[in-house]
Amino acid sequence: MRHIRSSIIAGVVGLSMSVIAPAHAQKKYDPGASDTTIKLGNIMPYSGPASAYSVIGKTQAAYFKKINDDGGINGRKIEFISYDDGYSPPKAVEQARKLIESDEVLLIFSPMGTPSNSAIQKYMNAKKVPQLFPASYSSKWSDPKTYPWTMLLGTSYQTEGSIYAAYLLREKPDAKIAILYQNDDFGKELLSGLKAGLGAKASMIVEEAPYEVADPTIDSQIVKLRHSGADVMFTFGTPKFVAQSIKKIAELGWKPMHFVPNVASSVGTVIVPAGVENAQGVLSGTFIKDASDPQWDNDKGMKAYTSFLAKYMPDANKADSLMIHGYMGAQLMVQVLKQSGDNLTRENIMKQAASIKNFESDVLIPGILANTGEKDFSPLEDMQMMRFKGSRWEPFGVVIKGRSDG
């Protein structure tokens, strides 16, 4: 798939009428907005080594179609234009320029990947175009002083790494740690967060092994890490490589305490390819509900999510948690657009994005709410630990409060 373009004419009735500006207020528009349309840009790896993440963009396209079918936002339809960058930073820059300079979108929403977002961040801020809620949880997107046009979505990798460190220090303070990490900003930030959380105990790390996204396999790195004598393993990678890691560890008969990042914990795209039997006991953290977990069967928010899937993505794999990430981001984007009323300028979009108060998405774990402020570009900062058991992830313990560096 090269791109997605979702453009459904909205009905005459807008959602959440209470947030519409008074009739006498003057309407204000920047490129990408009008009386009838709000044009959003997006960049996704529909091809390449991170193509598993493309379901995020597909889910968002479907969600915006639902919003348009329900009447749009304050009477305006969303036109969602999503291009493929193949997880290539230079291609991401090319697509960002196309979206802003040719398609004239109002903003770029949920561009995928730490390398790609890093590549476009300075350009977006120089152009003063919002780069909202990247499908990447780097703390780099939460630096309003340096990059006032970029805002984070989920708990940052830095914070996630430190949360795993806190858990490990409590449960296994004498651990010997081996780490496989993706040799880019994504993998290095998780690694940095872990080391920061370990503090003086970072000496527990006995071996580290990087890999490149172009590598066909990480088998040699896993063999090397096993021979380090480690009894704890961290795989800081994307779905393809986390699945390979889980599978190879099992093949070697190695049984370390194994941690994987939230963004590579999907049952559908990671656990099933790795082998459900191989993933027993694997640990991760989360801030979203698991659609395959029966504990949410009677949950109002999860019912809304599964109803959406049934109507707009009937052939989708319900067990793929990446869709939930896409859905959550789309819900938050809609909230910002609702709050913006008839003032659809890029400046007001950022003002409203920095004015989110106790937003509760259908799919966030109870007790985790999105909040932002003028100096707080981290809507979500908390996680709960979870362990894979049987055929699903089981959350346990209390919600752990985190704080990103941004």
pLDDT at 20: 42
pLDDT at 25: 66
**Contact present, 387 and 122 (Cβ < 8 Å):** no
**Contact present, 361 and 331 (Cβ < 8 Å):** yes
Q: Which of 377, 344, 338, 402 is nearest to 132 (CA)?
A: 377
pTM for this predicted structure: 0.82
pLDDT at 7: 44
**List of E strands, 169-323:** 177-182, 205-211, 232-236, 257-259, 283-286
pLDDT at 291: 87
pLDDT at 5: 54
DSSP codes, 22-50: PTTSPPEE-TTB-SSEEEEEEEE-SSSTT
pLDDT at 324: 94
Q: How many CA atoms lie within 13 A of 231 on its CB side?
A: 7
pLDDT at 3: 55
pLDDT at 347: 98
**3 forms bridges with which residues in the sheet?**
83
Geometric angle at alpha carbon 177, from 195 and 193, rounded to 5°: 20
pLDDT at 61: 98
Number of residues written out for the chain: 406
pLDDT at 16: 39
| CATH code reported for the domain at 157-286 | 3.40.50.2300
Task: Give yes or no on whether 29-155+292-381 and 157-286 have one common fold.
Answer: yes
| CATH code reported for the domain at 29-155+292-381 | 3.40.50.2300
Residue 292, Cβ density class (10 Å: 0-12 exposed, 13-18 middle, ≥19 buried): middle
Residues 6+ apart with CB under 8 A from 136: 111, 112, 113, 114, 116, 117, 186
**182 forms bridges with which residues in the sheet?**
211
Domain ranges in the chain? 29-155+292-381, 157-286
pLDDT at 4: 56
Helix (H) or strand (E) run with residue 6 in it: strand 3-7
pLDDT truncated to tens, each residue of the chain (406 aa)?
445 555 433 333 333 333 444 444 689 999 999 999 999 999 999 999 899 899 999 999 999 999 999 999 999 999 999 999 999 999 999 999 999 999 999 999 999 999 999 999 999 999 999 999 999 999 999 999 999 999 999 999 999 999 999 999 999 999 999 999 999 989 999 999 999 999 999 999 999 999 999 999 999 999 999 999 999 999 999 999 999 999 999 999 999 999 999 999 989 889 999 999 999 999 999 999 988 888 899 999 999 999 999 999 999 988 788 999 999 999 999 999 999 999 999 999 999 999 999 999 999 999 899 999 999 999 998 899 999 999 999 999 988 877 444 3
Distance CA 36, CA 362 (A): 27
DSSP codes, 71-116: T-BTTBEEEEEEEE-TT-HHHHHHHHHIIIIIS--SEEE--B-HHH
